[in-house]
Amino acid sequence: GQQLNQSPQSMFIQEGEDVSMNCTSSSIFNTWLWYKQDPGEGPVLLIALYKAGELTSNGRLTAQFGITRKDSFLNISASIPSDVGIYFCAGLRNQGGKLIFGQGTELSVKP
Amino acid sequence: GAVVSQHPSRVICKSGTSVKIECRSLDFQATTMFWYRQFPKQSLMLMATSNEGSKATYEQGVEKDKFLINHASLTLSTLTVTSAHPEDSSFYICSARAPSGQETQYFGPGTRLLVL
The rounded mean pLDDT for chain A is 94
Q: What is the pLDDT of residue B30?
A: 87
The Cα angle at residue A109 between residues A105 and B2, in degrees rounded to 5: 60
DSSP E strand stretches across chain A: 5-7, 10-14, 19-24, 31-37, 44-49, 55-58, 61-65, 71-76, 85-92, 100-101, 105-110
Asked if A98 lies within 8 A of B45 by C-beta distance, the reply is: no
Hey, are the CB atoms on A101 and B109 less than 8 Å from each other?
Answer: no
Enumerate the residues of chain A whose CB falls inside 8 A of the CB of residue B44: 43, 88, 101
Full DSSP string of B39-58: -TTS-EEEEEEEETTS--EE
CB contact under 8 A, A35 and B104: no
The confidence score (pLDDT) of residue B28 equals 87
Q: Which residue has the higher pLDDT, A100 or B53?
A: A100
Percent residues over pLDDT 70 in chain A: 97
For residue B100, what pLDDT is reported? 64
pLDDT of the residue at B41: 86
Q: What local confidence, expressed as pLDDT, does residue B102 receive?
A: 66
Name the band, by pLDDT with cuts 50, 70 and 90, for residue A39.
Answer: very high
* CA distance, residue B48 to nearest chain A CA (Å): 10
Residues of B in contact with A65 (CB under 8 A): none
Q: What is the pLDDT of residue A97?
A: 80
Average pLDDT over residues A20-46: 95
Would you put residue A82 in left (φ > 0), alpha (ψ -120 to 50) or beta?
alpha
Alpha-carbon distance A7 to A105, whole Å? 6
Q: What CA–CA distance (Å, rounded) separates A48 from A61?
A: 12
pLDDT at A25: 95
pLDDT of residue A1 exceeding 60, the answer is: no
Per-10-residue mean pLDDT of chain B, 116 residues long, equals 91 97 92 93 93 91 95 92 96 88 85 97
How close does chain B come to A65, measured CA to CA in Å? 15
Chain A residues inside the 8 Å CB shell of B46:
1, 98-99
pLDDT value for B72: 83
For A27-36, what is each residue's pLDDT tens digit?
999 999 999 9
B33: β partners: B50, B96
One-letter amino acid of A4: L
Question: Which residue in chain B has the smallest CA separation from A89?
Answer: B43
Q: Give the model's pLDDT for residue B1.
A: 65
A26, A15, A23, A85: which is closest to A49 by C-alpha? Answer: A23
Residues of A in contact with B110 (CB under 8 A): 40-42
8 Å CB contact of B105 and A50: no
State the greatest distance between any 2 C-alpha atoms of chain B, in Å, as a whole number.
43
Q: Are B38 and B29 in contact (CB under 8 A)?
A: no
Chain A residue at shortest CA distance from B1: A45
Mean pLDDT of A44-51: 94
Residue A110 CB-density burial (10 A; 0-12 exposed, 13-18 middle, 19+ buried)? exposed
Q: Under an 8 A CB cutoff, do A99 and B46 touch?
A: yes
